[in-house]
Protein backbone atom coordinates (compact mmCIF):
# COMPACT_ATOMS: atom_id res chain seq x y z
CA UNK A 1 0.00 0.00 0.00
CA UNK A 2 2.00 2.96 -1.18
CA UNK A 3 0.92 6.51 -0.47
CA UNK A 4 1.69 9.58 -2.54
CA UNK A 5 1.20 12.33 0.01
CA UNK A 6 0.85 14.92 -2.76
CA UNK A 7 -2.48 13.46 -3.89
CA UNK A 8 -5.47 14.43 -1.77
CA UNK A 9 -7.16 11.16 -2.67
CA UNK A 10 -4.49 9.34 -0.70
CA UNK A 11 -5.54 11.20 2.43
CA UNK A 12 -9.13 10.05 1.93
CA UNK A 13 -7.87 6.48 1.44
CA UNK A 14 -5.75 6.78 4.60
CA UNK A 15 -8.83 8.01 6.47
CA UNK A 16 -10.81 5.03 5.24
CA UNK A 17 -8.13 2.55 6.31
CA UNK A 18 -7.68 4.09 9.76
CA UNK A 19 -11.43 4.17 10.40
CA UNK A 20 -11.64 0.51 9.41
CA UNK A 21 -8.95 -0.11 12.02
CA UNK A 22 -10.97 1.80 14.62
CA UNK A 23 -14.07 -0.25 13.84
CA UNK A 24 -12.13 -3.51 14.03
CA UNK A 25 -10.69 -2.73 17.47
CA UNK A 26 -14.16 -1.63 18.59
CA UNK A 27 -15.40 -5.19 18.10
CA UNK A 28 -13.58 -6.26 21.26
CA UNK A 29 -12.77 -3.00 23.09
CA UNK A 30 -16.34 -1.92 23.77
CA UNK A 31 -17.51 1.43 25.10
CA UNK A 32 -14.09 3.13 24.89
CA UNK A 33 -14.31 4.68 21.41
CA UNK A 34 -12.60 7.97 22.26
CA UNK A 35 -9.79 6.22 24.12
CA UNK A 36 -9.18 3.87 21.16
CA UNK A 37 -9.16 6.88 18.84
CA UNK A 38 -6.59 8.73 20.95
CA UNK A 39 -4.34 5.66 21.14
CA UNK A 40 -4.54 5.28 17.36
CA UNK A 41 -3.72 8.97 16.91
CA UNK A 42 -0.60 8.48 19.03
CA UNK A 43 0.41 5.49 16.91
CA UNK A 44 -0.08 7.43 13.67
CA UNK A 45 1.76 10.46 15.02
CA UNK A 46 4.69 8.40 16.32
CA UNK A 47 3.97 9.19 19.96
CA UNK A 48 3.43 7.33 23.23
CA UNK A 49 0.39 7.31 25.48
CA UNK A 50 -0.16 7.19 29.25
CA UNK A 51 -3.49 5.57 30.11
CA UNK A 52 -4.97 6.26 33.54
CA UNK A 53 -7.79 4.04 34.75
CA UNK A 54 -8.76 1.47 37.33
CA UNK A 55 -8.01 -2.21 36.64
CA UNK A 56 -10.40 -4.24 34.51
CA UNK A 57 -11.32 -1.66 31.87
CA UNK A 58 -9.58 -3.40 28.96
CA UNK A 59 -6.18 -1.71 28.68
CA UNK A 60 -4.32 -4.95 27.98
CA UNK A 61 -7.03 -6.03 25.55
CA UNK A 62 -6.67 -2.75 23.67
CA UNK A 63 -2.94 -3.32 23.13
CA UNK A 64 -3.47 -6.93 22.02
CA UNK A 65 -6.26 -5.95 19.63
CA UNK A 66 -4.29 -3.10 18.06
CA UNK A 67 -1.23 -5.27 17.51
CA UNK A 68 -3.32 -8.10 16.07
CA UNK A 69 -4.98 -5.75 13.57
CA UNK A 70 -1.71 -4.85 11.83
CA UNK A 71 0.25 -8.04 12.46
CA UNK A 72 2.49 -6.40 15.04
CA UNK A 73 4.07 -7.81 18.16
CA UNK A 74 3.04 -6.73 21.63
CA UNK A 75 4.61 -7.36 25.01
CA UNK A 76 3.59 -6.55 28.54
CA UNK A 77 5.79 -5.60 31.47
CA UNK A 78 4.25 -5.63 34.94
CA UNK A 79 6.10 -2.86 36.77
CA UNK A 80 6.88 -3.71 40.39
CA UNK A 81 9.13 -2.17 43.07
CA UNK A 82 11.83 -4.80 42.47
CA UNK A 83 11.85 -4.48 38.66
CA UNK A 84 15.35 -3.69 37.39
CA UNK A 85 16.21 -1.54 34.33
CA UNK A 86 17.76 -4.59 32.65
CA UNK A 87 14.40 -6.38 33.01
CA UNK A 88 13.04 -3.76 30.60
CA UNK A 89 15.87 -3.16 28.15
CA UNK A 90 17.85 -6.42 28.27
CA UNK A 91 21.39 -7.26 29.33
CA UNK A 92 24.65 -8.93 28.30
CA UNK A 93 25.53 -12.35 29.67
CA UNK A 94 28.61 -14.52 29.31
CA UNK A 95 28.12 -17.59 27.11
CA UNK A 96 30.28 -20.34 28.58
CA UNK A 97 30.15 -22.45 25.41
CA UNK A 98 31.14 -19.61 23.09
CA UNK A 99 33.43 -17.98 25.67
CA UNK A 100 32.01 -14.59 24.78
CA UNK A 101 29.34 -12.13 25.87
CA UNK A 102 25.98 -12.15 24.13
CA UNK A 103 23.14 -9.67 24.36
CA UNK A 104 19.71 -10.79 25.43
CA UNK A 105 17.25 -8.15 24.36
CA UNK A 106 14.48 -7.24 26.79
CA UNK A 107 10.73 -6.97 26.21
CA UNK A 108 11.14 -3.38 25.01
CA UNK A 109 12.09 -4.80 21.60
CA UNK A 110 8.55 -5.06 20.26
CA UNK A 111 6.02 -2.95 18.36
CA UNK A 112 3.57 -2.16 21.15
CA UNK A 113 4.93 -2.22 24.70
CA UNK A 114 2.40 -2.21 27.54
CA UNK A 115 4.10 -0.83 30.65
CA UNK A 116 1.49 -1.85 33.20
CA UNK A 117 1.30 0.21 36.40
CA UNK A 118 4.46 2.07 35.46
CA UNK A 119 4.36 4.15 38.63
CA UNK A 120 4.93 1.06 40.79
CA UNK A 121 8.60 0.86 39.78
CA UNK A 122 11.28 3.21 41.16
CA UNK A 123 12.57 6.14 39.10
CA UNK A 124 15.69 4.26 37.99
CA UNK A 125 13.59 1.61 36.27
CA UNK A 126 11.12 4.13 34.89
CA UNK A 127 14.07 5.99 33.36
CA UNK A 128 15.06 2.84 31.45
CA UNK A 129 12.21 3.71 29.09
CA UNK A 130 13.35 7.31 28.55
CA UNK A 131 15.97 6.58 25.91
CA UNK A 132 13.85 4.20 23.90
CA UNK A 133 10.81 6.49 24.01
CA UNK A 134 12.77 9.46 22.69
CA UNK A 135 15.54 7.90 20.60
CA UNK A 136 13.90 4.64 19.49
CA UNK A 137 17.00 2.76 20.61
CA UNK A 138 18.43 1.00 23.66
CA UNK A 139 22.03 1.06 24.84
CA UNK A 140 23.32 -2.21 26.31
CA UNK A 141 26.95 -2.45 27.39
CA UNK A 142 27.81 0.61 25.31
CA UNK A 143 26.20 -0.69 22.11
CA UNK A 144 23.03 0.88 20.66
CA UNK A 145 20.23 -1.32 19.37
CA UNK A 146 17.30 0.14 17.44
CA UNK A 147 13.78 -1.02 18.23
CA UNK A 148 11.46 -2.31 15.51
CA UNK A 149 9.15 0.18 13.83
CA UNK A 150 6.38 0.94 14.31
CA UNK A 151 7.06 1.28 18.02
CA UNK A 152 4.89 2.74 20.77
CA UNK A 153 4.82 2.62 24.56
CA UNK A 154 1.42 2.40 26.23
CA UNK A 155 1.89 2.92 29.96
CA UNK A 156 -0.86 2.55 32.54
CA UNK A 157 -1.34 3.80 36.07
CA UNK A 158 -4.08 3.45 38.66
CA UNK A 159 -5.54 6.86 39.65
CA UNK A 160 -6.75 5.69 43.07
CA UNK A 161 -4.27 3.28 44.64
CA UNK A 162 -1.20 5.36 45.53
CA UNK A 163 0.41 3.21 48.24
CA UNK A 164 3.77 1.88 47.10
CA UNK A 165 3.90 4.02 43.97
CA UNK A 166 6.55 6.40 42.63
CA UNK A 167 5.39 9.51 40.76
CA UNK A 168 6.67 9.64 37.20
CA UNK A 169 9.52 12.14 36.72
CA UNK A 170 8.60 15.28 34.80
CA UNK A 171 11.08 14.40 32.05
CA UNK A 172 9.33 11.10 31.45
CA UNK A 173 5.81 12.48 31.65
CA UNK A 174 6.75 14.97 28.95
CA UNK A 175 7.76 12.09 26.65
CA UNK A 176 4.16 10.90 26.49
CA UNK A 177 2.30 12.57 23.66
CA UNK A 178 -1.01 12.09 25.47
CA UNK A 179 -2.45 11.16 28.81
CA UNK A 180 -5.84 9.60 28.29
CA UNK A 181 -8.38 8.87 31.01
CA UNK A 182 -10.17 5.52 30.71
CA UNK A 183 -13.48 5.60 32.58
CA UNK A 184 -16.16 3.00 33.27
CA UNK A 185 -18.30 2.03 30.26
CA UNK A 186 -21.98 2.91 29.99
CA UNK A 187 -24.56 0.40 31.21
CA UNK A 188 -25.41 -0.74 27.68
CA UNK A 189 -21.72 -1.12 26.79
CA UNK A 190 -21.09 -3.09 29.98
CA UNK A 191 -24.00 -5.39 29.14
CA UNK A 192 -22.43 -6.08 25.73
CA UNK A 193 -19.03 -6.72 27.36
CA UNK A 194 -20.54 -9.20 29.81
CA UNK A 195 -22.43 -11.02 27.06
CA UNK A 196 -19.34 -11.39 24.88
CA UNK A 197 -17.13 -12.49 27.76
CA UNK A 198 -19.54 -15.07 29.16
CA UNK A 199 -21.30 -16.61 26.17
CA UNK A 200 -19.96 -20.16 25.73
CA UNK A 201 -16.65 -19.15 27.32
CA UNK A 202 -14.62 -20.55 30.19
CA UNK A 203 -12.82 -17.71 31.93
CA UNK A 204 -13.13 -14.06 31.00
CA UNK A 205 -10.47 -13.80 28.29
CA UNK A 206 -11.67 -12.48 24.92
CA UNK A 207 -9.81 -13.85 21.92
CA UNK A 208 -8.39 -11.40 19.38
CA UNK A 209 -6.98 -13.95 16.91
CA UNK A 210 -9.64 -13.27 14.27
CA UNK A 211 -9.19 -9.49 14.30
CA UNK A 212 -7.69 -7.81 11.26
CA UNK A 213 -8.19 -10.68 8.83
CA UNK A 214 -10.22 -8.47 6.46
CA UNK A 215 -8.11 -5.33 6.91
CA UNK A 216 -5.06 -6.39 4.89
CA UNK A 217 -2.97 -4.10 7.08
CA UNK A 218 0.66 -4.77 7.96
CA UNK A 219 3.46 -3.05 9.82
CA UNK A 220 4.69 -1.46 6.59
CA UNK A 221 1.22 0.02 6.07
CA UNK A 222 1.25 1.61 9.52
CA UNK A 223 4.61 3.20 8.69
CA UNK A 224 3.13 4.43 5.39
CA UNK A 225 0.14 5.90 7.23
CA UNK A 226 2.55 7.73 9.52
CA UNK A 227 4.17 9.21 6.44
CA UNK A 228 0.79 10.44 5.24
CA UNK A 229 0.19 12.13 8.62
CA UNK A 230 3.57 13.85 8.34
CA UNK A 231 2.44 15.49 5.09
CA UNK A 232 -0.88 16.88 6.33
CA UNK A 233 -0.96 20.64 5.72
CA UNK A 234 -1.00 22.90 8.78
CA UNK A 235 -1.85 26.53 8.14
CA UNK A 236 0.32 29.03 10.01
CA UNK A 237 -2.78 30.39 11.75
CA UNK A 238 -3.69 26.90 13.06
CA UNK A 239 -0.11 26.32 14.15
CA UNK A 240 -0.22 29.65 15.96
CA UNK A 241 -3.44 28.56 17.68
CA UNK A 242 -1.69 25.47 19.09
CA UNK A 243 1.23 27.60 20.26
CA UNK A 244 -1.06 30.17 21.94
CA UNK A 245 -2.90 27.43 23.83
CA UNK A 246 0.37 26.02 25.12
CA UNK A 247 1.77 29.43 26.04
CA UNK A 248 -1.43 30.31 27.90
CA UNK A 249 -0.72 27.43 30.32
CA UNK A 250 2.42 29.25 31.43
CA UNK A 251 0.78 32.57 32.27
CA UNK A 252 -2.68 31.59 33.46
CA UNK A 253 -3.49 32.29 37.10
CA UNK A 254 -3.42 29.13 39.17
CA UNK A 255 -0.79 27.38 37.09
CA UNK A 256 2.27 26.33 39.07
CA UNK A 257 3.97 25.07 35.92
CA UNK A 258 2.94 25.28 32.28
CA UNK A 259 3.67 23.13 29.27
CA UNK A 260 6.95 23.27 27.31
CA UNK A 261 7.36 23.74 23.54
CA UNK A 262 7.31 19.95 23.25
CA UNK A 263 3.59 20.22 24.02
CA UNK A 264 3.06 22.58 21.07
CA UNK A 265 4.84 20.11 18.80
CA UNK A 266 2.80 17.18 20.15
CA UNK A 267 -0.44 19.12 19.69
CA UNK A 268 0.29 19.82 16.02
CA UNK A 269 1.41 16.23 15.36
CA UNK A 270 -1.71 14.82 17.03
CA UNK A 271 -3.95 17.25 15.13
CA UNK A 272 -2.47 16.06 11.82
CA UNK A 273 -3.28 12.44 12.71
CA UNK A 274 -6.82 13.44 13.65
CA UNK A 275 -7.19 15.15 10.28
CA UNK A 276 -6.21 11.89 8.56
CA UNK A 277 -8.86 10.03 10.57
CA UNK A 278 -11.33 12.58 9.21
CA UNK A 279 -10.07 11.99 5.66
CA UNK A 280 -8.67 15.50 5.32
CA UNK A 281 -5.31 16.68 3.96
CA UNK A 282 -5.28 19.76 6.21
CA UNK A 283 -5.68 20.58 9.90
CA UNK A 284 -8.53 22.73 11.18
CA UNK A 285 -8.72 24.48 14.59
CA UNK A 286 -11.18 21.87 15.88
CA UNK A 287 -8.48 19.18 15.48
CA UNK A 288 -6.26 21.14 17.85
CA UNK A 289 -9.05 21.92 20.30
CA UNK A 290 -10.26 18.31 20.40
CA UNK A 291 -6.85 17.00 21.45
CA UNK A 292 -5.69 19.85 23.69
CA UNK A 293 -6.72 18.18 26.96
CA UNK A 294 -5.13 14.74 26.40
CA UNK A 295 -1.95 16.42 25.12
CA UNK A 296 -1.69 18.98 27.93
CA UNK A 297 -3.31 17.54 31.09
CA UNK A 298 -0.15 15.72 32.25
CA UNK A 299 2.15 18.63 31.41
CA UNK A 300 0.62 21.26 33.68
CA UNK A 301 0.62 21.62 37.47
CA UNK A 302 -1.90 23.61 39.47
CA UNK A 303 -1.14 25.64 42.57
CA UNK A 304 -2.05 23.99 45.91
CA UNK A 305 -4.71 26.67 46.49
CA UNK A 306 -6.45 25.80 43.26
CA UNK A 307 -6.30 22.08 44.01
CA UNK A 308 -7.81 22.67 47.47
CA UNK A 309 -10.71 24.40 45.75
CA UNK A 310 -11.31 21.19 43.80
CA UNK A 311 -9.92 22.34 40.47
CA UNK A 312 -8.59 19.74 38.04
CA UNK A 313 -6.25 20.10 35.05
CA UNK A 314 -9.16 19.31 32.70
CA UNK A 315 -11.38 21.99 34.20
CA UNK A 316 -8.63 24.58 33.99
CA UNK A 317 -7.90 23.58 30.39
CA UNK A 318 -11.59 23.90 29.50
CA UNK A 319 -11.56 27.46 30.84
CA UNK A 320 -8.32 28.14 28.97
CA UNK A 321 -9.73 26.90 25.66
CA UNK A 322 -12.71 29.24 26.10
CA UNK A 323 -10.48 32.32 26.21
CA UNK A 324 -7.98 31.46 23.47
CA UNK A 325 -9.61 32.49 20.21
CA UNK A 326 -9.51 29.96 17.38
CA UNK A 327 -8.58 31.30 13.94
CA UNK A 328 -11.18 31.56 11.21
CA UNK A 329 -10.01 29.86 8.03
Reported as a single tens digit per residue, the pLDDT across 59-90 is 889 999 999 999 999 999 999 999 999 999 99
What was the pLDDT predicted at 205?
A: 63
Q: Which residues of 135-171 are buried (b: 16+ CB within 10 A; e: fewer)?
A: eeebebeeeeeebeebbbbbbbbeeeeeeebbebeee
pTM of the model: 0.90
Q: Distance from first CA to last CA of the chain, Å, rounded?
A: 33
What was the pLDDT predicted at 2?
A: 43
CA–CA dist 178, 46 (Å, integer):
11
CA–CA dist 295, 180 (Å, integer):
8
Backbone angles phi, psi at 312, to 5 degrees: -125, 155
CA–CA dist 211, 63 (Å, integer):
12
SS3 214: coil
177 compared with 203, residue with greater pLDDT: 177
203 compared with 104, residue with greater pLDDT: 104
Q: Say if CB 56 and CB 23 are below 8 A apart.
A: no
Q: Could you report the per-residue pLDDT of 40-58, keeping only the tens digit for each?
A: 999 999 999 999 988 888 8
| Side-chain half-sphere CA neighbours of 44 within 13 A | 29
Domain ranges for the chain, please list them.
1-231, 233-329
CA–CA dist 46, 220 (Å, integer):
14
9 compared with 274, residue with greater pLDDT: 274
List the alpha helices (DSSP H) in the chain.
8-25, 33-45, 59-69, 85-89, 123-126, 128-135, 170-173, 187-198, 219-230, 236-251, 261-277, 285-296, 304-308, 313-323
Residue 5 has pLDDT above 70, yes or no: no
CA–CA dist 147, 56 (Å, integer):
29
Enter the CATH code of domain 1-231: 3.40.50.300
Enter the CATH code of domain 233-329: 1.10.8.80
42 forms bridges with which residues in the sheet?
A: none
Q: Say if CB 329 and CB 238 are below 8 A apart.
A: yes
Number of other residues whose CB lies within 10 A of the CB of residue 270: 28
Amino acid sequence: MGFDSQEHGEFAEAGRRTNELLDEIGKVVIGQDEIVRQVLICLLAGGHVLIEGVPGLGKTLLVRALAQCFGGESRRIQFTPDLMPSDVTGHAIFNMQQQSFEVRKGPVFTNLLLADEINRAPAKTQAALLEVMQERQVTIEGESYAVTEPFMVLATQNPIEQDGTYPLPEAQLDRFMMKTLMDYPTESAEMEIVQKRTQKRIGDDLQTDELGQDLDLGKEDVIALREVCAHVAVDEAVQGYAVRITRETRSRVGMLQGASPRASIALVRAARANAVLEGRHFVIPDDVKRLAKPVLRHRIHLTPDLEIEGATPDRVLDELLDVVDAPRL
